[in-house]
Structure formats: structure tokens, C-alpha cells
Amino acid sequence: MIETIIALATPAGESALAVIRISGPLSHIIAKEACDCTNPTPRKTYLVDYQSSDGETLDQVVITLFNKGKSYTGEDSLEISCHGNPLIIELISKDLMNRGCRIAQPGEFTKQAFLNGKIDLPQAESVAQIIAAKNEQSLALAQRNLKGKLSNKLLSIQKDILGLQASIEAHIDFPEDDLIKEDHNKYQQNVKTIIKELETLLLQANRTKLLAKNIRVVLAGLPNVGKSSLFNALAGKNRALIHSDAGTTRDYLEFDIKIGKYWITLVDTAGVHNASEEIELAGIEMSLEQAEEADLFLWVIDNSVPHPSELPKDFTKLIQSKPTLLIRNKSDLGENDWIPNYKKTPKAINISSTEKSGLKQFERLLLELIQEITGVDAENEYLVSVRHELLIKNCLDELNHFLQKSKEKVGEEITSLHLSEAREKLDMMIGRKTNEDMLDILFGEFCIGK
Amino acid sequence: MTLRVNTPSKPYDVIVCGAGHAGCEAAIAASKQGADVLLLTGNLDTIAQMSCNPAIGGQGKGQIVREIDALGGEMALNADFTAIQFKLLNTSKGKAVQAPRAQCDKKAYQLRMKHVLEQQPNLTLFQSMVDGLIVQKSSCKGVTSSMGLHFYGKTVIVTTGTFLQASTHIGQSKSEGGRLGDHSAKGLSAHFIKHGIELRRFKTGTPPRLLGNSINFDGLDEQSGDKNPSKFAFYDSRSDSEMFHVEQNRRWAIKNNQVLGSNLVKCFLTSTTETTHKHINENLHLSPLYKGDIVGTGPRYCPSIEDKVVRFSNKDSHRIHLEPEGVNTDEWYINGLSTCLPFEIQQKVLKSIPGLENAKIIRPAYAVEYDYAPPTQLNKCLESLLIKSLFFAGQINGTSGYEEAAAQGLIAGINASRSALGLDSLSIYRNEGYIGVLIDDLTTKGVTEPYRMFTSRAEHRLLFNHGSAEHRFLLKSQAYNLHSRSRRENIRNQLQTTDTWIKTLETTKAESGITYAHQIKSVSELEILFPESFHQLPRSVQDEVIYRITYDGYLKREIAAAKRIKNAENLEIPPSFSYNSLPGLRTECMEKLNQLKPSTLGQASRISGVNPADISIIHIYLERFTKLQKDEGD
Ligand SMILES: Cc1cc2nc3c(=O)[nH]c(=O)nc-3n(C[C@H](O)[C@H](O)[C@H](O)COP(=O)(O)OP(=O)(O)OC[C@H]3O[C@@H](n4cnc5c(N)ncnc54)[C@H](O)[C@@H]3O)c2cc1C
Ligand SMILES: Nc1nc2c(ncn2[C@@H]2O[C@H](COP(=O)(O)OP(=O)(O)OP(=O)(O)O)[C@@H](O)[C@H]2O)c(=O)[nH]1
Ligand SMILES: [Mg+2]
């Protein structure tokens, strides 16, 4: 029995259309039952209504069927192009899972293609490497998403679920031991808390677009060097206040721009120096916070002054630890071409924010740096994050089933099953936990043994 | 039967070493396969002895005993016929995790099993200590034993339990022996090591035994058995001759049967006090566990009382169960008080426990430390990967528990005899039942503490409800000839009846206008007015029908998932396959795989630290490997 797997094949939300790719024996059945399209001619497109198993029309979609042996994976395949609306994608994916499909593992389509002889033997190595890379990327993305919050949160939720299971399993497997009485209300309470946390996570993710995380680029430097001017120049509009007085910017300011394929959140900060005024100090404190969360620094200096003084120590350290581009601004006034005396000299560029000179070259340098740090292209990353989102939603479904079944009082072996399934979804994002891990908690927490 | 002429050219088919729970099942199963079997054991009086508590079954274990019965083993009948109290555990939970347990009369259990062995055709029982292996060209040809005897066999099964280089500890006092008062097996360990088989150390312990008339039972909580015993063996499919094969024999007094096999005794409950814990804490330094005299790892689920007091210091009391060891003795087993503290302290500890103030110890508590052979050195037929025709079963494989031992004995017995007879081997997979989980866990993951079954070890335990064991193993029992033809027919008919009734109840409407199946899923079984003919079915069939209807959706899901396991199980990893230099495979994962050498992709996927992506990579290279090999062959 081969399973039917699904994955999103396009970066949704970017364009008007999204493509969901299905591979496996259910392809024909889905064409027939969800799209009312019996025996479609392969490779021909059909405009149909997609109907969920509950009989609800989810979207008008275009489907294309590929027969076994003639598709990318070599299995029966179906491509569904739907509207790029995330909600529609989610509903269709969920329905596909109800119909027996499973979300693909990283690289699984390529693997199927290989196993079906669609990719030949000498390429095995590259296939394996793709899978390894995709897996790495998936883990790395979970780490980076929401500034690491996603993976931390998921890890802690995974632990919570294991703990819950440990308690339930202790009572199933050691019914005659003198255990703390089972508190079903507490189980439900705990699961409700987990559900809330996951929902908040999704909400945050959706609102800030951080699941497909923007790269945070922070402008830092001494006061009055022209950070805000550069910010405005890149944003293409006057968002930040600019003034010839030092210390103009007090609060930080964000603006999303796109450079190449990448979405970037540009952050303007207050100039840092050894300030005395309290409000200024608060601003500088905030700049430091921003600097800590930066993926990439734009260190702005004034190229027209003879000796740009160094930044406070905290910053110097951060700047040396993260990818940094040195921007020598105000090059229209003079070119001092200062270079910091660091172990690793950052790439530097001379520009003028007011004259808007050197900006094209600056963008090119920035793009290079971004590619260096992401190592993968943004499209893929977006797909991975959509997969994460779906998995989290799956996990939520199982947890809600847990609650429902607990109310029906069906027996712990059933409720525990839903917890296992919920955990499995997390495992797919952040690494697998086994029954042994559960037993470790169980024996650590419960005094077992007559 | 006397010992027959036995030479290298006229070997036994199977030689079993040690008549514990594993050895007995192994010998019986082998002889049922038609093999000529020799069972050697150190002492005929300790055949099938329960070294520890006088009970068979319990969570996970009870299901195993039923599976043993479904695969033609003896343990279920032996427990049923010698039981003195029955209990079905987890009745407040779902049926998937309910399990039978029985207190047995220890002596009767042993004697009955001994008599089964005595009567079994082609089985020779002989008292002798095995002290060495006869190995030629990495293949086992027999054993040497005390009195300088040599026994030749086409296959050898080692079931020596806790006896290898065994030492028992009571406080500072240490002596040799696999049980207190028993022998220790010495020569064998050296032989294993010589042949490259790795050995490690485990420990386990047992509580003191008390004289019943010195216990004050007044005021202690009574624990009696269930009114309707839930037995281990499947009776609906059996003919009398398959039920009373021992009892029919005149030598086995049938009157015994009239007493045993029902609820005869009560157990009692008491608990430790603060004084108990004080004594223990004050004397910890005298426990060999804490002094470091015992190096072997003990089971976390069977901690000594000193462990419980230390690790759970916030608990001011621990439960103690008092269980009779039989009906013809007043010896009581003190469940929960396993320890290796010195004898004087044991007495002090007892005095601090309600009801035991004046109790007399007739056997002290002790710990035993022994060699085991890490089971990753075996294939799933339980045959050694290093020495051909040498099988291992029971506690020697790092497990603990009578049921786990018996199950392995059964599988090793079937496989050793089939190998000797030139027949194909039997593997039980983890999607088929607890025995499959047991063997798969042992042979792929190995053990870090004495291994015991928990239902949570099975990914798909909903499929493994104890009532379905016969149905689940019908095909296997057919293919490997594990039952009489009539029993097989009966099981098949039952399965058919079950399937038919499920369909009937799914389609027939009750008076209320909704289908029976719907009712079963929504209201309690007792509220349903089933058709009269349903009630006429055997209880076991009714139960199974209701179970399968209740969990219908879940079972379908589980079956699909279990199939996935099976598919991956079909992808064998040849021994010559190398994980080194597979691009993309993480080092940590590579090391694990090199060490554990899984034999299928399915096994590999269950190793902790091996992620789905790693499995994909291995899968790809496996495919390449087999294709290249085929190309070379062409
Ligand atoms: C002190 C103690 C405490 C235990 N506590 C628990 C517990 O709390 N829970 C639990 O589940 N299990 C416990 N057990 C384990 C349980 O008794 C075993 O798991 C089970 O009996 C193992 O069965 P077996 O057939 O593998 O070996 P055993 O029952 O140990 O039988 C081995 C047999 O082999 C014979 N033998 C050994 N060496 C040789 C030789 N060289 N030649 C010939 N014959 C030989 C012995 O005489 C014996 O009859 C305990 C065991 C002991 C000793
Ligand atoms: N000639 C010239 N002037 C510039 C350039 N960039 C900025 N300036 C001027 O420098 C002054 C400070 O500019 P800002 O952008 O406010 O500087 P800032 O770094 O944001 O300052 P703070 O917010 O106070 O830290 C303004 O008067 C700008 O017009 C440039 O490239 N060339
Ligand atoms: Mg500014």
C-alpha cells in the first residue's frame, strides 16, 4: 500500500494562485469525489468546484491529472490550482487529509520520483542531498521562525504532551500501583492551555508574516550619520524624521521592503553613543534590543568625517558576531574610507543617502549577504513554513479531538491515541520523540512498582 | 523416557538448557513441531518456578499470555488450572487495555508444568547443569554438562534465566546463585565470551516471604478476586483433549483441579509508615545498591523499597500487598518490599508496618545480579547472529518477567525445531501483537534495563485487545501448524461468525429505529436489547463483535498505520549494506545504525535519533544498492 502525500508547490499569498500537489493512489479518487471529475484525460486541465467531504464547495479550482509513470513522482498525481488565499489552501489541505492523504516529509516527492525510476541511479546522491538539505532547512526554519520562539514553543509543547501521556500511560499500565489519582479535568485544562498556545502562535505567525519570516535588517550607528535618511531612501517614502540635530530618532521604526525575492523588515534605530539624557538612554537601550534580534546589520558611518569614532562595546560585539555591511554614508561630502580593525573585515560600500548614489550597488551587496545567510531561496522557505503551519493545524485538530473524546468518556487508550497523533505532528517539525522518552518521564514522575 | 544414544551423527533436533518459563515453552513448542527434544535443567524441583511474585499476567503481560495461547503455548492453561485468584485489570478503562491477571499456587504451577513436560512426546527431561557449548565453524553442535556428559543437537536454545555468573546479595552477605538457595551457572559465560558473544550485568530483587499465621490481618484491606474469572486460555475453540491434556492423565490428581482454577484466596493491603522510611534512610549505607557492590542495572518499574524511599522522598507511605504463595502452604509474598538491606534491618522494617509487627520472615529478601546477553546479537527468530543454530530466550536476553520469558521460549522453540527439521522460520512482527513488539524491541533497540512489556510500547495497541489474540494469529497458526486441525477450524468459524455479526448489527435496526451498531457506539452495552440469537453466541464472540464495532473508526486507522509498518518491514537491509559515507546522513544517526544493524527499514525507523529524512536517504541508497547488486548478478 502506497500512501498518498500532499504538498504545496507554490509560494501562496505571493500570487493569485496556489498549486497543491498530490501524489499517490488516491489521486483518481480525489478527482472523482472532490472535483466531480471521473476519469479525466491526463495532462488536460479542468475547471471544477472543489467539494469537501462534508459537501461544501471550498473553491473553484483547476485540476490536472497525471497518470502513473507519467508524473514527476511516477505515481498517479493530481495538481490542484486554487486561489492563493491561505484559508482556502488550509481548508483544501485539511479535506485532503480527511480523505486519507498525508503531508509530505521534506524531499519526499523527489524520493518517490527516484524510487519510481524517474530520476536515474547516478543521481541518487544528489537526491539524498536534496532531502538532507530540505530536512536541515525545515529544522533551521523552525529555529529561526518567530525569532526562535516557534521551535522553543513547539519543544515545550512537545514536552507538555509527553508529560500528559506519561500520566495517562502510568494509569493504564500500572492500574494497581498507588498513583496520584487521575485528574481528568486537569488533563483537559492542560490540553486547553496547549491549544491556546498553539493558536496564539498561529495568530502571531499570520499577523506578522513571521512564519515565512522576513529577514530583519537593522540600521545602526552613531547619531546623525544618516540612518534615517537611508531608511527613507530604501523605503521610497519619508517614514522617518530627519534632522540635522543628533538624536533625532528615539523610537525604532520598521518598514517592509522586497529586495530580489526576499522580504525584508528594515529597522531604523536611535543613534548610539554615550548619552546622558534619560529619554535618549531609553532609546539607545531599545536600539540594543533591536540589534540583538537582527539577522543582518547595516552599520552606518559618516564618511565625511576624518575619524569616525567606534560604537559602544555592546554594539561592537554584536556587530562582529552577525553579518554586517558597513555603509559609508555622506560620501558626497568626502571619502575617508575608514575600515574598522576587526578580525573579519565587513564588506563596505560608499553611498550618499541624500544624493541617492551607490544605492543599486548597495542592494546587490545586500542581496549577496542575504543569500549567504539563508543558504536557500526564499520560495522554498515559504513552502516549508506553510508545511509547518499545516502541521500545527493538524496538531490542533488532534488536541481538539482529545477534548471531545474526553467529554464522551471513551477511555484513555483513545484519548492517548489523539495525543500521540498530535505529538507526531510536532515531531515532524522539530525531531522525533519515542516511547522511551515518555517512559523516562513516567518513571521520573511516578513511583511505580509494587 | 531414558536418555537415548546421542552422538554427533545422531543428534537431538533441539537441546534446551534450563527449564524455567522460557525453557518449558521452548521444549514443548519444539516437540509439538515434531522435533526430538532434550531439556536439560539444573534441578527438576525448580521447573517453571516463579522466582518472584506468585502471579501470572497483568498489564501487557496478560495479553502476552493470551497470545502465547493463541500460538499453541502452555502458559495460559497452566496458569488457569493452578490459579487461586483471578482479576481482570483496568475494567474502568477501555477494552483495549484490559488485561487478565491471576494469583497462582506456585507449587501446583510447577508440578503441572513438570507433568506436561513428562507427558510430551519426543521430549526428554534430564537433570544436569550445562557448562559449555560445542561449537564448530561458528555453528553450535551441542553442549557439555556436569558429570562430563556431552549432548549433541542440531540446535541449542539457551534459557538459563538469572543464573549466569549469578550472585545474590543480602546486605553485606553475598553468595552465588541465580535464586537464593539455588545454583549459579559458571562455565557458560566464559564460553559465550570466547565465541564473541557480549555479556552485560543486570540486577533484580525480591521481597521477603512471611509465615501467614504470624501476620495480623485484622484491619487490613481485603482484596478478593473477580466473581467471574477471566481466564487466559481460549476455551471455545478447544476440544477436551486440548484442555485437559494433563488433567486426563491419572497421575495428575483431578481433584486438584476441583480446588484450583477458581477464586480461593484473598490478598491483603497494608503500607509502609514514617518509621519504615526512617529505618531505611538510616541504613542505606548497608544496602549493596547504595554501597556500589551491585553494578548491574535494575528495572525502574520494580524498584527496591530503598529506591522508592530515596527517589520519592515526598511520599510518606508506599503500598504493600500481601499475597499467598499457594493453598498448601502458609508462605506469603510481600509485594512492594523488595530489598537487599541486611536481614536485621529487614526485620526492623517489617515491625514498622501495620499487620506485620510480629511477622516471621521465612525467606529473606535479596537482590540477584546476573549476566545477560544483549539481545541485539539475535535475529528476529531469536537465533544468534554470531553462532548458527544457537538460540536465546528468556531473562538471558535482558528481559524480566515470566510471560516475556515464556513468549520468547515459544518463538525460539518453534524456530529452533523448524530449523532442525529443515522448515522455514516463524517471525512475529510488531504489527501482529505484543509478542512481535517484544521481539522487535529486543532485537533492534536492545535493552538498557531489564525489559518488561508495557502496552504503550505497542504503537497500535487498539488492535491488540486480549480477546482477539486467536483471530490475529489464525493465519500464522495455520501456516506453522501450531494447533490441531479442529481448533483451527473452530477459530476460523468464530472469526467468520464475528464478521457476519458485525455486518448484521451494522445494518439491522433495533426497535428504537437506529442500528445496533450505532447504539453500541453511543450507549452502554447493558442498555441495548440485542436480538436473542446474539446472546446465544459464546461470550468471547459477543465481546469481540462489540469491541470491533465500538472502535470501528479507530481500528481502521490503526490497521492502515500497521500496514505501513509492515511495508517498511518488507524492505530488508542486507548485512553487507554500509551506512558509512551515505551523503546527508547525520553522524549521530550513522553511528546508531552501525551499532544496531537493523535488518529492515522498518526497524531502522524505530531507532531513536533516526529521523524520517534519514530513513528516506537510507531508502534511496538501499534501492541503489540492490539495483547495483542485481546488475552485477546479471
Ligand atoms: C530474585 C528475583 C527477583 C525477580 N523479580 C521479578 C519481578 O519483580 N518481576 C518480574 O517480572 N520478574 C522478576 N524476576 C524474573 C523472573 O523470575 C524471570 O523473568 C523469569 O523467571 C525468567 O524466566 P526464564 O525462563 O528466562 O529463567 P528462569 O526462570 O530463571 O529459569 C532458568 C532455569 O534454567 C536453569 N538453569 C540455569 N542455568 C542452567 C544451566 N547452566 N544448565 C541447566 N539448567 C540451567 C535454572 O535451574 C532454571 O530452572 C525475578 C527473578 C529473581 C531471581
Ligand atoms: N550630505 C549628506 N547629508 C546627509 C546624508 N545622509 C544624511 N544626511 C544629513 O545628515 C543629517 C542627519 O540625518 P539623519 O538621517 O536624521 O541621521 P540619523 O543617523 O538618523 O540620526 P539620529 O536619528 O539622530 O541618530 C540630516 O541633516 C541629513 O540631511 C548624505 O548622504 N549626504
Ligand atoms: Mg534617525
pLDDT tens-place string over residues B325-371: 998 899 999 999 999 999 999 999 999 999 999 999 999 999 999 99
- CB pair distance less than 8 Å for A413 and B462: yes
What is the Cα–Cα distance from A213 to B368, expressed in whole angstroms?
58
pLDDT > 70: percent of chain A: 83
Ligand nearest to the CA of A327: 2
Say yes or no: A166 and A84 in one domain: no
Phi, psi at residue A277, to the nearest 5°?
-65, 140
pLDDT > 70: percent of chain B: 96
Q: Which residue has the higher pLDDT, A349 or A201?
A: A349
Does residue A246 form part of some domain?
A: yes
Which positions in chain A touch B456 (Cβ < 8 Å)? 165, 169, 172-173, 416, 435, 438-439
* Residue A120 touches chain B, beta carbons under 8 Å: no
Give the residue-averaged pLDDT of A301-311.
81
Which CATH fold would you assign to the domain B571-633?
DNA polymerase; domain 1 (1.10.150)
Final residue before a domain boundary, out of A80, A102, A119: A119
Min Cα–Cα distance to chain A from B508, Å: 24
Q: Lowest-pLDDT range, A282-291, B253-262, B359-368?
A: B253-262
Question: Is B209-246+254-365 in the same CATH topology as B12-203+370-462?
Answer: no
Say yes or no: A370 and A400 in one domain: no
Domain count, chain A: 3
CA–centroid distance, residue A289 to ligand 3 (Å) = 16
Least CB–CB distance from A447: residue in B318, B335, B551: B318
Say yes or no: A80 and A152 in one domain: no
Final residue before a domain boundary, out of A72, A98, A119: A119
Question: What are B559-614's pLDDT values in tens digits?
Answer: 888 887 777 778 888 888 888 877 777 777 888 888 888 888 888 888 877 777 78
Least CB–CB distance from A449: residue in B59, B94, B303: B303
pLDDT > 90: percent of chain A: 30
Query: For residue A393, what pLDDT band results from cuts at 50, 70 and 90?
Result: confident
- CB pair distance less than 8 Å for B554 and A134: no
Helix and strand counts by DSSP (H, E) for chain B: 22, 20
Write down the pLDDT at residue B86. Answer: 94
Question: What are B149-160's pLDDT values in tens digits?
Answer: 999 999 999 999
User: Which residue has the least CA distance to atom 32 on ligand 2?
Assistant: A330
Q: In this structure, what CATH number is given to the domain that contains residue A48?
A: 3.30.1360.120
Q: In this structure, what CATH number is given to the domain that contains residue A245?
A: 3.40.50.300
What is the Cα–Cα distance from B442 to B437, expressed in whole angstroms?
8
Does residue A380 form part of some domain?
A: no
Does residue A292 form part of some domain?
A: yes
Give the residue-averaged pLDDT of B129-137.
96
User: Which residue has the least CA distance to atom 6 on ligand 2?
Assistant: A226
What is the Cα–Cα distance from B615 to A315, expressed in whole angstroms?
44
Q: Which of A219, A228, A335 to mutate to test the pocket of ligand 2 (most atoms within 8 A of CB)?
A: A228
Does residue A159 form part of some domain?
A: yes
Does residue A133 form part of some domain?
A: no
Neighbouring residues of B503: CB distance < 8 A, sequence distance ≥ 6: none
* Three-state SS letters, chain A: CCCCEEEECCCECCECEEEEEEECCHHHHHHHHCCCCCCCCCCCEEEEEEECCCCCEEEEEEEEEECCCCCCCCCCEEEEEEECCHHHHHHHHHHHHHCCCEECCCCHHHHHHHHCCCCCHHHHHHHHHHHHHHHHHHHHHHHHHHHHHHHHHHHHHHHHHHHHHHHHHHHHHCCCCCCCCCCHHHHHHHHHHHHHHHHHHHHHHHHHCCCCCCEEEEEEECCCCCHHHHHHHHHCCCCCCCCCCCCCCCCCEEEEEEECCEEEEEEECCCCCCCCCHHHHHHHHHHHHHHHHCCEEEEEEECCCCCCCCCCHHHHHHHHHCCEEEEEECCCCCCCCCCCCCCCCCEEEECECCCCECHHHHHHHHHHHHHHHHCCCHHHHHHHHHHHHHHHHHHHHHHHHHHHHHHHCCCHHHHHHHHHHHHHHHHHHHCCCCHHHHHHHHHHHCCCCC
Is pLDDT at A448 greater than 50 in this prediction? yes
Write down the pLDDT at residue B604. Answer: 87
Write down the pLDDT at residue A211. Answer: 38
Say yes or no: A282 and A411 in one domain: no
Is pLDDT at A41 greater than 90 in this prediction? yes
Mean pLDDT of chain A: 82
What is the Cα–Cα distance from A188 to A191, expressed in whole angstroms?
5
Q: Is B553 left (phi over 0), alpha (psi -120 to 50) or beta?
A: alpha
Given a contact cutoff of 8 angstroms between Cβ atoms, the answer to whether A385 and A145 are in contact is: yes
The residues facing B366 across adjacent strands are B206
- CB pair distance less than 8 Å for B454 and A412: no
Q: Which residue has the higher pLDDT, B427 or A130?
A: B427
CA–centroid distance, residue A232 to ligand 2 (Å) = 11
Is pLDDT at A384 greater than 80 in this prediction? no
What grid cell was written down for B550?
Answer: 465500538
- CB pair distance less than 8 Å for A447 and B308: yes
Give the residue-averaged pLDDT of B185-200.
94
In terms of DSSP H, where are the helices of B312-468? 343-351, 402-420, 434-440
What ipTM was predicted for this assembly? 0.87
Does residue A138 form part of some domain?
A: no
Write down the pLDDT at residue B470. Answer: 96
- CB pair distance less than 8 Å for A174 and B617: no
Does residue A140 form part of some domain?
A: no
Say yes or no: A219 and A202 in one domain: no
Write down the pLDDT at residue A146. Answer: 43
Write down the pLDDT at residue B418. Answer: 98
Say yes or no: A184 and A314 in one domain: no
Query: For residue A329, what pLDDT band results from cuts at 50, 70 and 90?
Result: very high
Q: Which of B129, B395, B452 to mutate to test the pocket of ligand 1 (most atoms within 8 A of CB)?
A: B395
Nearest by Cα to B77 from B89, B69, B67: B69
Question: What are B521-534's pLDDT values in tens digits?
Answer: 888 777 888 889 99
Question: What are A7-19's pLDDT values in tens digits?
Answer: 887 764 555 788 8
* Residue A175 touches chain B, beta carbons under 8 Å: yes
Q: Which atom of ligand 2 is nearest to the CA of A221?
A: 19
Nearest by Cα to B531 from B500, B494, B495: B500
Q: Residue holding cell 556587530? A: A319
Q: Is A230 left (phi over 0), alpha (psi -120 to 50) or beta?
A: alpha
Q: What is the CATH number of domain B12-203+370-462?
A: 3.50.50.60
Buried/exposed code over A306-327 (b: 16+ C-beta within 10 A; e: otherwise): eebeebeeebeebbeebbbbbb
Query: For residue A148, what pLDDT band results from cuts at 50, 70 and 90?
Result: low
Does residue A135 form part of some domain?
A: no
Q: Lowest-pLDDT range, A123-127, A348-352, B202-206?
A: A123-127
- CB pair distance less than 8 Å for A411 and B303: no
Taking the domains of chain B in order of start, what are their residue ranges?
12-203+370-462, 209-246+254-365, 484-556, 571-633
Q: Which CATH class is domain B209-246+254-365?
A: mainly beta
Q: In this structure, what CATH number is given to the domain that contains residue A423?
A: 1.20.120.430
Classify burial at B57, counting beta carbons within 10 Å of its beta carbon; exposed 0-12, middle 13-18, buried 19 or more: buried
Buried/exposed code over B272-285 (b: 16+ C-beta within 10 A; e: otherwise): bbeebbebbeebee
Q: Lowest-pLDDT range, A110-114, A126-130, B3-7?
A: A126-130
Say yes or no: A231 and A321 in one domain: yes
What grid cell was written down for B315?
Answer: 511520599
- Triad A222, A227, A228: Cα angle to 5°: 130
Domain of residue A63 covers 5-119
Say yes or no: A245 and A367 in one domain: yes
Is pLDDT at B478 greater than 60 in this prediction? yes
CA distances from A289 to A152, A280, A317, A321, B388 (A): 19, 14, 13, 15, 67
* H/E run at residue B209: strand B209-211
Is pLDDT at B388 greater than 90 in this prediction? yes
- CB pair distance less than 8 Å for A414 and B461: no
**Would the CB of B401 count as within 6 Å of ligand 1?**
yes
Which positions in chain B touch A132 (Cβ < 8 Å)? 583-585, 613, 617
**Would the CB of A224 count as within 6 Å of ligand 2?**
yes
Q: Which atom of ligand 2 is nearest to the CA of A331?
A: 31
Write down the pLDDT at residue A377. Answer: 43
Question: Looking at residue B79, what DSSP letter applies?
Answer: H
Residue at B219: amino acid letter: G
DSSP secondary structure letters along B505-537? HHH-B-TTSSBHHHHHHHS-GGG----HHHHTS
Residue at B554: amino acid letter: Y
Final residue before a domain boundary, out of A78, A102, A119: A119
